[in-house]
Amino acid sequence: MNKGDLVSAVAEKANLTKVQATEALDAAIDAITAALKAGDEVKLVGFGTFAVADRAAGTARNPRTGETIKVPASKTPKFKAGAGLKEAVNGK
């Protein structure tokens, strides 16, 4: 499923136009992104939790040359599925 498919599904399920569903989906994504950027967690009960994790600096190897390169520390978004989503996916 891509974003267009998701917009269509939301529009149909919520009885919205595709334009309204696109705006709603974009607003939700923007709100989640802003919260993560600020260092906050986003908890959607029954669905899951979005959070930011710190990645330590390290070294890696270029597979073509074998040269060792330094990888800087960074932050990465993480998602942990909630119980309701896990149950839905597992058919329970």
When divided into structural domains, the chain yields a total of 2
90 is a domain residue = no
Q: pLDDT of 67-87, one tens digit each?
A: 999 999 999 999 999 999 999
**Whether residues 48 and 34 fall in one domain:** no
Supply the CATH number for residue 60's domain: 4.10.520.10
73 is a domain residue = yes
Q: pLDDT of 27-58, one tens digit each?
A: 999 999 999 999 999 999 999 999 999 999 99
14 is a domain residue = yes
Task: Identify the domain containing residue 2 by its residue range.
Answer: 1-39
48 is a domain residue = yes
Q: Is the confidence at residue 92, as pLDDT, over 90?
A: no
Provide the mean pLDDT of the chain. Answer: 95
Q: Which residues contact 20 (CB under 8 A, 6 or more apart)?
A: 11
**Amino acid 58: pLDDT:** 95
